[in-house]
Amino acid sequence: MTNNDHSHKDQEHNDGSRILIVTAVDAEKDAVVRGLAGSTKADVIAAGVGPAYAAASTAAALAAAAAPYRLVISAGIGGGFDGTAAIGSLVVADRIIAADLGAESQDGFISVDELGFGTARLEADSAWSHRFYEAIRTAGLEAVLAPILTVSTATGTAATAAAHAARIPGAAAEGMEGYGVAVAAQRLGIPFTELRAISNAVGPRDRAAWRIGEALASLEAASAAILEVLE
């Protein structure tokens, strides 16, 4: 096969109608792939844990694509804020916020926005987010459309959970990759959103209370539910 043949095959593989779904680890990737049931409308990658790996891996995948993706989704499991997102439920982002990007001071946390060094708040694509939310709800799954926080250190105390909730009213979930994925997509002008299946409550760290298997099952079900949206 010639180089031109390879290029032609790559173009067929990604003709601009596909989306990129970025997870952190293989277990999340596998859940999404099972839900998509062989669909050719999405490519799924495991980027690594944290916003730096997420941004770098997403940027590399977007740069290597034969044609631009029409959407990028950060997907995985994460923590849910008490009273907003229960274990096993799903959160679709309307905003993606780097909750710990800023500086500490004697008067409390100062966001990067307040410091004047850019923004930690990115708007998820409204049309895509609403379509996914409605598809997930129509499938009978519990879901909310709300801000999702990105943190570099997972919340492990009630005090930190309360501080995040107070600073970002309506926050429903936290993960460790969404903001990195979103920045990479935004830099290339590609719409983005985030999907989290809740495995634990945001707050005091209690491994015994985590329901990772339940969250992965919800992530799989949500991935199946959004298939019709991708068609």
When computed from its CA atoms, the radius of gyration of the chain, rounded to whole angstroms, is: 18
Distance CA(159)–CA(106), nearest Å, equals 16
Which of the four pLDDT bands, split at 50, 70 and 90, describes residue 148? very high
pLDDT at 116 exceeding the cut of 60: yes
The answer on pLDDT for 1 being more than 90 is: no
Q: 98 φ, ψ to 5°?
A: -80, 95
The mean pLDDT of the chain is: 92
**Mean pLDDT lowest among 48-62, 184-198, 202-216:** 202-216
Looking at residue 211, its pLDDT comes to: 94
Contact by Cβ (8 Å): 192, 68: no
Q: Is residue 227 scored above 70 in pLDDT? A: yes
Residue 126's pLDDT is 97
Rounded Cα distance, 147 and 130, in Å: 13
| pLDDT mean over 27-48 | 96
pLDDT in tens, 64-113: 998 999 999 999 999 999 999 999 999 999 999 999 999 989 888 999 99
pLDDT over threshold 80, residue 143: yes
* 179 has pLDDT over 70: yes
